Structures are given as structure tokens and as C-alpha cells.
Copies of this chain bind each other. A is one copy, B any other.
């Protein structure tokens, strides 16, 4: 795709986005209803296309976990259709009027909630991410340009067709959800310069992709690089509850960003807690990398090396360390955390409060599993990603984070 075409495609997407922004909630919901219908109707086409992508990926030697993420079966597609219908059922995020006030002068000032505009979503080969991003942006009145990994080219074409039919049936332009053809790195770089047309870029994938997007984008980027999540077991904590939180956080789905990577234990609890945790973790295949003090209670553990602190293992590996006190736990997290999810297991309300207020992360938790840091689990209904930077959104991003507000002001001839 040559630059002119990419710019033209983006402009058309921008025009389609403006129509969507001005449509009412019923019209946007109608598009989602047609989308669910089109996905249902095209089920066999989509699954066949995905089988071809899978076969090509396997014969091309794509790593197993990437083929997994690329794969879509009947049950997976059904779940996606349900997700579209779930998004449809959420309250309309647009049009809300807030902060309404009448100034002493009589000037009426308030804020109106509006969409962000046109969003570029850069993901790897994950069909579910494409469908969810499309549903969330339609619901929130934003235009979307999606660039997926080339390994899902056939699936993307089938999904594009479903989006196209749904948009046409509901009276919107097909450009409102533009599924781009495969772009090479130079073309992607071009896309990332279109700051006059595209309002936001959301990359989702490995750290390499996200760094590439961040470093080459002239458009604001919402992203998280990685999740290095800690559990701190405080003095006096409920140890069996803490153990359940540890096991869930580490083993329920270790490849995800909200899984635990490191355990910090207060020294008074360390003998009892580590004696409990060691065998339970070992029984689930977890490899522990411990500091020398913790190793005294974890005979099976390897010795942690400097680079194991702050490392995102993304597998069944856990770094473990004994800390002398609460302050040392805070200092460790401040040094090695990634602004993603941090957890304290404690019975002390004062330390719980201090942890919530002072630990730097988009989501800070007391006595709950880090795995619950997810838009769905936290009651947002759906999420388009998790932000680890503080501009615009911090933590899981739901529909509200796909909107902003403008000031609307009504006077009666007011002057300055």
C-alpha cells in the first residue's frame, strides 16, 4: 500500500468516524446487533479461513503459543459473539453532561462526553482482539483502523466482511471499522505519522511491537510494556488466604500480564508462609528463584540473580524474597514494579490504606488476586487494554477511556 492510499484510507475512516460520533446510542447498538448477526451467519466462513491461517502458520513454523492465540474454534467464536452482545448491553458512554455549573456571571458551563475520534489498533495475530476492539469502538462512537499480524490474513478478511455488512446494514460507512491489509514496517511507520487524522494508537502484543509503535509514533499511544506484579505478604496476614492469592496469581494463567512474578514476605511470616507455599508451588510445577534468606525455607528453590527482580517471566517461574518490614516491601516495589498491578495480603487497615495510596500502579489491591485486574473482572464490562502510563487512562481501559469531554458553554451575550 503506498503512502497516498494509506492517507486516503485514513481520511475515509475519519469521515466514517465523524458520522458514528454523531449517531445516537440506538443507531450504534443497531450496528452491534448486525455485527453479532453477521458473525453468526458467517461462522463457517470465518472458521474455515482461520483453519487455513492455522495450517499456514504451522507449516511456516510459527511458535505454538502464537498459533494458539491465532486459533479460533466454534466455541471461541460463540464467546466473541456473546462479547459483542455484552458490549451492546452496556450503558451508552456518550452524551453524558457533567460538571454543570452556572457561574456568578450567569454563564452556564458543563462538559459533554464525546468519542476520541479515530483510533488505530495495532495487534498481533489475535482474531478476538480485532472483534472486541471493533465492538468497543462502535459502541463508543469512535472510528477504528485495525492492523493485525499477517498470520491471520484470511481470518481478518472474513471478519472484515462481517464488519462491512453490519455497518452497511445499519447505515454507517464501512470505513468506520477499517481492517487494513498486511503492512510492512515502513508502511506501519507511515501510518504512525498521520497525527492530523488519527487521534490515538493502541498497540497490543509483545514488548517488541509496543516499543516499535511507541518509538515511531507521532500520534499519542496508550500502552503497557509489561506486567511485573508483586504480592507482599504482610506481618500478621491471613496466611492461607495469602497462599490462595499466590497460587491463583502465579498459576491460573502465567502467560498474562496480570500474573504474579514476585513474592515478598515479611520476615516474621516467612518461616511459616514459605514452608506452606514451597510444596504447593512445587506441586504445580512452579520454579522458585529465591534470595538467600528465603532459600533457607525453600530447599527446592534456585538462587535468584540480580536480573530476576523486576523480570516478567510469563511462565511458571516466581522470584521470592524476604523483606525486613513494610517499608522495604514498598521500596522493592517502587524499584522493580511496572505500574501494572500490585497486591498486599494484610489484616492491618492502616498498612492496607498506605499500600493503596502510595504504591505506584494502575491497579493496587488488598487481599485479592492480581489476575482480577481486568476490565471484565473489575466491572467495566469490557476492556480494550491496560494502561501503565498515567496520561488519559491508568489501569484497565473500558468504554469510558475511549471517550473524552469537551466544554460546552452557554451565555447571554457574555463578554470578557
A residues adjacent to B (C-beta < 8 A): 18, 22, 95, 101, 103, 107, 109, 112, 114, 116-117, 199-200, 214-215, 218, 220, 222, 238, 241, 244-245, 248, 252, 334, 352, 356-358, 360-369, 371-374, 377-379, 389-396, 404-416
Known: A367-B413, A368-B411, A391-B392. 16 other contacts (CB 8 A): A18-B360, A112-B356, A199-B390, A215-B218, A244-B415, A356-B408, A362-B406, A364-B407, A367-B412, A368-B412, A368-B413, A368-B415, A369-B416, A371-B415, A391-B391, A394-B405
B215 near A363: Cβ-Cβ < 8 Å: no
Copies of this chain assembled into the complex: 2
| B contact residues around A360 at 8 Å (CB) | 18
Question: Please, how many angstroms separate the alpha-carbon atoms of A199 and B358 in the complex?
Answer: 17
B371 near A416: Cβ-Cβ < 8 Å: yes
Q: Which residue of B lies closest to A241 (CB)?
A: B413
| B contact residues around A215 at 8 Å (CB) | 218
A22 near B358: Cβ-Cβ < 8 Å: yes
Q: With A367-B410, A410-B352 known to touch, is A357 a contact of B390 (CB < 8 Å)?
A: no
Candidates B218, B358, B372; contact of A214 at CB < 8 Å: B218
A339 → chain B, closest Cβ, in Å? 9
| B contact residues around A107 at 8 Å (CB) | 368, 372, 377-378
| B contact residues around A412 at 8 Å (CB) | 241, 367-368
Q: With A107-B372, A391-B200 known to touch, is A248 a contact of B416 (CB < 8 Å)?
A: yes
CB-CB nearest 9 A-B residue pairs: A368-B411, A371-B416, A392-B392, A241-B413, A248-B415, A363-B407, A368-B414, A365-B409, A395-B407
| B contact residues around A374 at 8 Å (CB) | 416
A310 → chain B, closest Cβ, in Å? 13
Question: Please, how many angstroms separate the alpha-carbon atoms of A18 and B360 in the complex?
Answer: 10
Candidates B367, B390, B396, B413; contact of A117 at CB < 8 Å: B390
Q: With A200-B391, A215-B218 known to touch, is A409 a contact of B368 (CB < 8 Å)?
A: yes
| B contact residues around A365 at 8 Å (CB) | 408-411
Question: Please, how many angstroms separate the alpha-carbon atoms of A214 and B193 in the complex?
Answer: 12
A73 → chain B, closest Cβ, in Å? 22
B22 near A116: Cβ-Cβ < 8 Å: no
A162 → chain B, closest Cβ, in Å? 29
A357 near B116: Cβ-Cβ < 8 Å: no
Candidates B358, B391, B410; contact of A116 at CB < 8 Å: B391
A396 → chain B, closest Cβ, in Å? 7
Question: Please, how many angstroms separate the alpha-carbon atoms of A42 and B392 in the complex?
Answer: 38
| B contact residues around A396 at 8 Å (CB) | 407
What are 15 residue pairs bridging A and B, where the CB atoms are less than 8 Å apart in the complex? Answer: A22-B357, A22-B358, A103-B379, A107-B368, A116-B390, A199-B390, A352-B410, A363-B406, A364-B408, A366-B411, A367-B410, A368-B409, A368-B415, A369-B414, A372-B409
B200 near A373: Cβ-Cβ < 8 Å: no
Q: With A391-B116, A394-B404, A394-B405 known to touch, is A410 a contact of B220 (CB < 8 Å)?
A: no
| B contact residues around A372 at 8 Å (CB) | 107, 409, 411, 414-416
| B contact residues around A368 at 8 Å (CB) | 107, 409-415
| B contact residues around A377 at 8 Å (CB) | 107, 416
| B contact residues around A358 at 8 Å (CB) | 22
Q: Which residue of B lies closest to A334 (CB)?
A: B18
A239 → chain B, closest Cβ, in Å? 11
Q: With A22-B357, A389-B199 known to touch, is A244 a contact of B413 (CB < 8 Å)?
A: yes
Question: Please, how many angstroms separate the alpha-carbon atoms of A334 and B103 in the complex?
Answer: 29
